[in-house]
Structure 1
């Protein structure tokens, strides 16, 4: 009797394991509860910056009167600081607690291109402590702070940014070079000054190292571009209604903040803007991004949590984030996690968003050395149109290059080597992506993990994709593609799997004729099954190479 129960229990365990491998979507039937993000509240008292001597003529430098108005408002218990109609030239603005900086519809806040107005300060650059020029708008350790209205905040970023020649027409390039500045030895990149060029030639210029001070980087100061708006360790933050554009580097950088809301803002940068991200939400908790529009030079809506050891030592994941009802036009990625995600990211919802012409739609990127765990990501109802790269991408070989190669650009293939798993090994797991509609992409789905750490537990359900190429799964485990309708130009193969384990493709509907349905390569490939596939227009079902066993694939009705 005891032996019978032991065998029965063992059978149950095997059954449960099988279900977890091939039907793990059932385990995600109950998602975590979405967070409630606390909102700001201000007294009705209003201070007009003109009462402090500000002049909206585009020539008078208003740094002091604007900051004096903010300080006075905070000291009296809080309220609204009004920027009325006008063109308000200013240097850095430092926000204070309990202040709502309200930009009128007819107002433009323009930050000066006089770099002397921006001192070098202790800051953060791409996930590491660094000396940078002071951000045009900043705040640290604040509570209950907002920037609202429907006016424009312009970072004057063209004065700061380098520009790549191959991102401009010949006429644009000649005009830029003739305006001043310098070009590198190969005449491929324009820099605004010699100081900026010197910084580009240094490895990690500005990054804090033991024994260095701001003075050590004075000769490359111009290179140390600030992010336009940086809030650090703040609680209850609102950005609403305004247009934020033309940043020296990233547009918006909330760092280690809690209770953050971005609502109905427009974020813009030229498409060629180097590091011109829309928003980078780094090590933040309880975040809402809704009804916003992004059209920028780098990633659109991006989740980060620090880089490499610095991010792991900080140990603050970005968590409890809701991103809904947003539109992203040009950007390297529509919604992005990484690559600086060393502190982790978890419990993130992305809903009802549209990506129009973004290089990649859903972009999840990392590389060895980062470490960190990205998990529990829930994505639903996404539209994509005219995506030059991949519609959905997971890549653990991020190489800090533009996602879509430019004309004439040659890139070396990645060198695949299996390394030991350490704290520097990143992890992507537990993603649920449902109801995705793609009309035009270079590739529908691309997943590439590491030999020592495959990308794990991904469900993509109810996807309708029109793309040049189909699906590629490399070093991936526990992947379920369910109800995938796909039309591609290249159909040899439609789906490629390399060293994939526990892969289920259920309800595949190819809309065009297919030469080869699935190719399987790699000796580690196993437990792959195709269920309920429409086979009427398929010439060949399967092909195996590079040590793949024919038994690794099962095709059922």
Structure 2
């Protein structure tokens, strides 16, 4: 039965959900919570209808699974269904979502990740990685919230929280006690029409949000908070995904705020699914030991057509970092970035061709990556240690680099040599401090409309208009 002390709206009678409707629900006087979503739902339920207890101590894994199973049956009429997580602390292990489904986490509600490993099923490594990302081939723990081969899934709220309680996992990983890859908070595989928005993620065991082999993905107004001293707590990692929008997110992390990926060495090459048509805009990032946006290091399926704009970076190791190596294969090409504001940076521009972590000995050392058509413009930075460290690969240089209209103010302890460039080629215009000789000033000064290019068109997901929904 519903617990009206939570004061949450659930109009089950209106939505014709007789399987779980109660007299108290019919008599409940409520106020609407409005939110935006790809789809609104015909059916609705509240987690407590399935025996959940929000005391932060009782396991609710069975309640989540029971609720989603029941709602999946109700969603088959085309109207979809939503599960409301009300205020409280809801301890749970891993659970899978269903299609045509909304998980709504209300303000004041916290989904707490269990620290009991038995509540985390073990699953096979991703096919484009070949083994667990934490350096073992034994498999990996399923993510807290996951799903595969789904259509039309929304994870949202009015700033509800998912807390990964990561300390247990961080300590054990640091001691090298895991034979399995740590779980992520949210991972969806082989799915389409996905929205993750208006929630806060705290203390993930490892990566926070990982859409992989997905298309048509919106990640919007998400806050990610992780200790800056903990590695592998990446914020958002689109991986072999097409047509993805990441906007209006705030991320504090011990690793890359956003890491764009597409598989690892020979496994990623064989799987052959690139990340493409990706828009990242209005990102705020703090990451003292890593990048605002990283392209790679696992990029063996290819990364192309990435647009990055209106980004604010504070106390972050680098702005946009390209990470690859011989053996990766694949490509990073057609990358466009503009309007980046930075304060307290180790590097502004960083490209690494020697990121030599490999899944096993089966990789091809002659599988060289292609890095070309990389465009940066309209950037300002202050308190910077080094302007650029750009290192391509011997006999496989990074080409087509363009940097224009960039002003970098140096820190008191700045490096005497501001640009280190090897095996790269490109041009610059109106960049201070003066770049290295491999990135010469374009002889004919570029006019404003002739700066490094940024596409004028939109990727399809940027034109999607969300619907006004209620819970």
2:194 equivalent to 1:237: yes
Deviation (angstroms), 1:252: 1.1
Q: 137, 141, 150: which one pairs with 1:142?
A: 150
Deviation (angstroms), 1:190: 4.6
Counterpart of 1:540 in structure 2 is none
Secondary structure, aligned partner of 1:270: coil
Q: If the length of structure 1 is used for normalisation, what is the TM-score?
A: 0.67
2:292 equivalent to 1:334: yes
Counterpart of 1:445 in structure 2 is 388
Q: 471, 492, 505: which one pairs with 2:441?
A: 505
Q: 132, 145, 150: which one pairs with 2:140?
A: 132
Deviations 1:473-520 (A, max 9, x none): 21112x11101133xxxxxxx6544xx4xx4314xxxxxxxxxxxxxx
Q: 136, 158, 161: which one pairs with 2:170?
A: 161
2:431 equivalent to 1:484: yes
Deviation (angstroms), 1:427: 1.5
Secondary structure, aligned partner of 2:125: strand
Counterpart of 2:117 in structure 1 is 115
8 Å contact 2:128–2:262 — kept in the other structure? no
Q: 132, 152, 172: which one pairs with 2:161?
A: 152
Q: Tell me, in whole angstroms, the C-alpha distance in 2 between the residues paired with 1:334 and 1:422.
A: 29
Secondary structure, aligned partner of 1:505: coil
Counterpart of 1:435 in structure 2 is 378
Counterpart of 1:474 in structure 2 is 422
Counterpart of 1:63 in structure 2 is 61
Deviations 1:452-485 (A, max 9, x none): 11110011110011132422221112x1110113
Secondary structure, aligned partner of 2:124: strand
8 Å contact 1:154–1:244 — kept in the other structure? yes
Q: 399, 413, 417: which one pairs with 1:456?
A: 399
Residue 385 to residue 144, structure 1, CA distance change in 2 (3 Å): same
Residue 48 to residue 355, structure 1, CA distance change in 2 (3 Å): same
Residue 126 to residue 440, structure 1, CA distance change in 2 (3 Å): farther
What is the RMSD of the two structures over their aligned residues, measured on CA atoms? 2.2
Deviates more, 1:442-451 or 1:318-327: 442-451
Counterpart of 1:87 in structure 2 is 89
Q: Tell me, in whole angstroms, the C-alpha distance in 2 between the residues paired with 1:293 and 1:123.
A: 29
Q: Tell me, in whole angstroms, the C-alpha distance in 2 between the residues paired with 1:374 and 1:153.
A: 33
Q: Tell me, in whole angstroms, the C-alpha distance in 2 between the residues paired with 1:464 and 1:530.
A: 20
Deviation (angstroms), 1:280: 1.1
Counterpart of 1:258 in structure 2 is 215
Q: If the length of structure 2 is used for normalisation, what is the TM-score?
A: 0.78
Q: Tell me, in whole angstroms, the C-alpha distance in 2 between the residues paired with 1:466 and 1:146.
A: 42
Query: Where does structure 2 lack aligned partners over 5 or more consecutive residues?
Result: 1-36, 133-138, 359-363, 447-471
Q: 355, 358, 381: which one pairs with 2:339?
A: 381
2:300 equivalent to 1:325: no
Higher RCO (CA-CA < 8 Å; seq separation 6+): 2
Deviation (angstroms), 1:433: 0.8
Deviation (angstroms), 1:400: 5.6
Deviation (angstroms), 1:63: 0.6
Paired residues, what number?
A: 388
8 Å contact 2:429–2:445 — kept in the other structure? no
Q: Tell me, in whole angstroms, the C-alpha distance in 1 between the residues paired with 2:174 and 2:297.
A: 26
Query: Where does structure 1 lack aligned partners over 5 or more consecutive residues?
Result: 1-38, 163-180, 182-188, 200-219, 402-420, 487-493, 507-528, 533-557
8 Å contact 1:67–1:94 — kept in the other structure? yes
Deviations 1:210-232 (A, max 9, x none): xxxxxxxxxx35xx311221110
Q: Tell me, in whole angstroms, the C-alpha distance in 2 between the residues paired with 1:496 and 1:151.
A: 48
Q: Which has the higher helix share?
A: 1
Deviations 1:215-256 (A, max 9, x none): xxxxx35xx311221110110110000001211111111100
Counterpart of 1:371 in structure 2 is 329
Q: Tell me, in whole angstroms, the C-alpha distance in 2 between the residues paired with 1:495 and 1:348.
A: 24
Deviation (angstroms), 1:358: 1.1
